[in-house]
């Protein structure tokens, strides 16, 4: 058997999870609950994308939306480093509750922000809290499964949380049409309240006390260093980081490209984003059968090449314009790479780290969102009203994905199917 399959003894994710004073079975409803919690991330980003032009006008700065998005990604990167270690030490449930409470109050601050600086600060704080909802559910999946089973669970989470990227931009466009982008953050506050209630009343803890670590700051840093020095983790994490940077360049740039540049309505842009989200979800659901048949490594290799081809096409469309629908076609093709690479990179990176899945998941997320922060700042600084900066940035990221994939150790390939 492969990494952790025999040890997990958790077939079909019906484990006995520690919940403080009692044990209770984890049912098939767990992916639904974890997906709802992870969706706090898309809710916090995708819903306010249609409001980018409105936010820029409100603060008299065209780059203000990208700066706030970059601040959010920086907060996620820093937050996940602490959340992973805390969840390995204290269990999964308590840090998740605290993080979501911080997110809820910071969302209120975003709704009341009075300047670019205040919006950036509150977005950073919201991300610090939201990072718990991003990293801890992934660690909970790793508590329960590995390899193909983990890939199936991750794809189920994407199916659940995938509703958010479809619905959130449409909600955001409704709020923009009502003339008040601040309502977007009011909705985020409500979502935070519901997430806190869901964790408090419904979520068991998947990390029993005897499996929790008791490490100080220096040992935690050494642990991160050890994880980062493991080649299989590093190469898969780089695949995930550059994939995220490619995706976030698209997220940061497209609102102003389509709404300001092409003159689309916020509703039209939200519909475009919804179509791309549906494609992303659909491709992510192909992960379990593809991994079961071919293994994680070949899927990553093929998906990376598809993403590279899509970005080459986008650059061609950017420098030889064929209209907005050619760009739409290129973005839809890129969703093949996004949908397949993200869950496979997670599985490959976490496979050897069952004993400290929270720390490994946190480090993985930090690398992903650091790439996102850099991409967001780049789109804010380089934006010229055309598709070119986005297309070139996505191409560079896709090339880096292919390079990182080529450096993965061969030893992991024969073990990815659990053989």
> What would the mean pLDDT of 372-383 be, rounded to a whole number?
76
Q: How confident is the model at residue 13 (pLDDT cuts 50, 70, 90)?
A: very low
* Host H or E run for residue 25: strand 23-25
Average pLDDT, the chain: 79
Confidence (pLDDT) at 296: 85
pLDDT at 399: 95
Collapsing DSSP states into helix, strand and coil, what is residue 3? coil
- The residue written with tokens 């909600």 in the block is 171
Q: Tell me whether residue 235 is in a domain.
A: yes
Residue 258 has which token pair? 């389509």
| 3-class secondary-structure state, position 20 | coil
Count up the domains in the chain and report the number: 1
Q: How confident is the model at residue 54 (pLDDT cuts 50, 70, 90)?
A: confident
How far apart, in whole angstroms, are the C-alpha atoms of residue 268 and residue 261?
A: 13
91: left (phi over 0), alpha (psi -120 to 50) or beta: left
Q: Does residue 304 lie within any of the structural domains? A: yes
Q: What are phi and psi of 395, to 5 degrees?
A: -65, -45
Query: What pLDDT is recorded for position 12?
Result: 37
CA distance 369 to 399: 18
Residue 414 lies in a domain: no
Q: Residue 408, Cβ neighbours under 10 Å: how many?
A: 21
Confidence at 125, pLDDT banded by 50, 70, 90: very high
Residue ranges of the alpha helices (H) in 261-387? 266-284, 287-294, 296-319, 324-350, 357-382
* CA atoms of 404 and 246, how far apart (whole Å): 14
CA distance 402 to 406: 6
Q: How large a percentage of the chain has pLDDT more than 70? A: 81
Three-state DSSP class for 229? coil
Does residue 183 carry a pLDDT above 80? yes
State the pLDDT at residue 124: 94
Domain ranges, residue 50: 27-409
The alpha carbon of residue 219 and the mean position of all alpha carbons in its chain are separated, in whole angstroms, by 27
> pLDDT tens digits, residue range 293-323?
888 889 999 999 999 999 999 999 988 878 8
Roughly what angle, to the nearest 10 degrees, separates helices 182-202 and 30-38?
Answer: 150
Q: Any idea which of 6-20, 43-57, 385-399 has the lowest mean pLDDT?
A: 6-20
pLDDT for res 369 = 77
Least confident of 69-73, 94-98, 284-288, 351-355: 351-355
Whether the per-residue pLDDT at 388 is higher than 60: the answer is: yes
pLDDT at 358: 63
- The rounded distance, in Å, linking the Cα atoms of 234 and 348 is 10
Supply 144's token pair.
């329960």
The per-residue pLDDT for range 223-259, each reduced to its tens digit, is 778 888 788 888 998 998 999 889 888 888 888 888 8
Query: How many residues in total does the chain contain?
Result: 419
Cα–Cα nearest to 51, from 263, 192, 255, 324: 255
The answer to whether residue 7 sits within a structural domain is no
Q: Among 378, 377, 374, 369, which Cα is nearest to 127's?
A: 369
CA distance 353 to 372: 24
Rounded CA separation 140/310 (Å): 33
Calpha distance 347→340 (Å, rounded): 11
Rounded Cα distance, 327 and 323, in Å:
7
User: Which of 82 and 325 is assigned the larger pLDDT?
Assistant: 325
State residue 418 phi and psi, 5-degree precision. 80, 15
Residue 310 is predicted with a pLDDT of 94
Q: What is the pLDDT of residue 209?
A: 64
CATH number, domain at 358?
1.20.1250.20
């Amino acid at each position: 058997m492969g990494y952790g399959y025999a040890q997990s003894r958790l077939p079909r994710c019906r484990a006995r999870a520690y919940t403080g004073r009692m044990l209770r079975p984890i049912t098939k409803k767990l992916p639904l609950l974890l997906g709802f919690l992870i969706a706090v991330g898309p809710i916090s980003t995708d819903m306010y994308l249609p409001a980018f032009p409105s936010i820029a006008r409100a603060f008299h700065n065209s780059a203000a939306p990208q700066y706030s998005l970059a601040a959010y990604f920086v907060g996620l990167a820093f937050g996940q480093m602490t959340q992973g270690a805390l969840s390995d030490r204290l269990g999964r449930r308590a840090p998740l509750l605290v993080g979501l409470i911080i997110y809820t109050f910071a969302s209120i601050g975003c709704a009341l922000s009075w300047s670019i600086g205040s919006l950036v600060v509150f977005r950073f704080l919201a991300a610090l809290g939201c990072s718990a909802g991003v990293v801890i559910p992934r660690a909970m999946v790793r508590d329960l499964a590995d390899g193909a089973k983990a890939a199936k669970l991750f794809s189920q989470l994407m199916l659940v949380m995938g509703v958010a990227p479809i619905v959130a931009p449409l909600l955001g466009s409704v709020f923009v049409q009502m003339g008040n982008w601040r309502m977007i953050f009011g909705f985020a506050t409500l979502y935070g309240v519901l997430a806190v209630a869901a964790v408090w009343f419904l979520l068991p803890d998947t990390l029993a006390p005897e499996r929790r670590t008791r490490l100080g700051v220096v040992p935690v840093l050494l642990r991160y260093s050890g994880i980062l020095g493991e080649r299989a983790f590093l190469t898969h994490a780089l695949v995930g980081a550059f994939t995220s940077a490619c995706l976030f360049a698209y997220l940061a740039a497209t609102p102003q490209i389509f709404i300001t540049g092409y003159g689309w309505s916020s509703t039209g842009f939200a519909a475009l984003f919804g179509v791309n989200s549906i494609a992303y979800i659909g491709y992510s659901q192909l992960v379990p059968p593809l991994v079961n048949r071919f293994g994680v490594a070949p899927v990553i290799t093929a998906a990376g090449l598809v993403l590279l081809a899509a970005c080459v096409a986008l650059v061609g469309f950017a420098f030889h314009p064929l209209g907005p629908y050619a760009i739409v076609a290129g973005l839809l093709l890129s969703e093949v790479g996004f949908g397949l690479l993200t869950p496979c990179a997670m599985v490959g990176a976490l496979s050897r780290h069952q004993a400290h899945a929270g720390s490994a998941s946190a480090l993985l997320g930090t690398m992903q969102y650091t790439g996102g922060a850099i991409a967001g700042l780049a789109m804010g600084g380089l934006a010229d009203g055309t598709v070119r900066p986005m297309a070139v940035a996505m191409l560079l990221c896709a090339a880096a994905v292919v390079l990182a994939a080529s450096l993965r150790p061969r030893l992991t390939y024969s073990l990815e199917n659990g053989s």
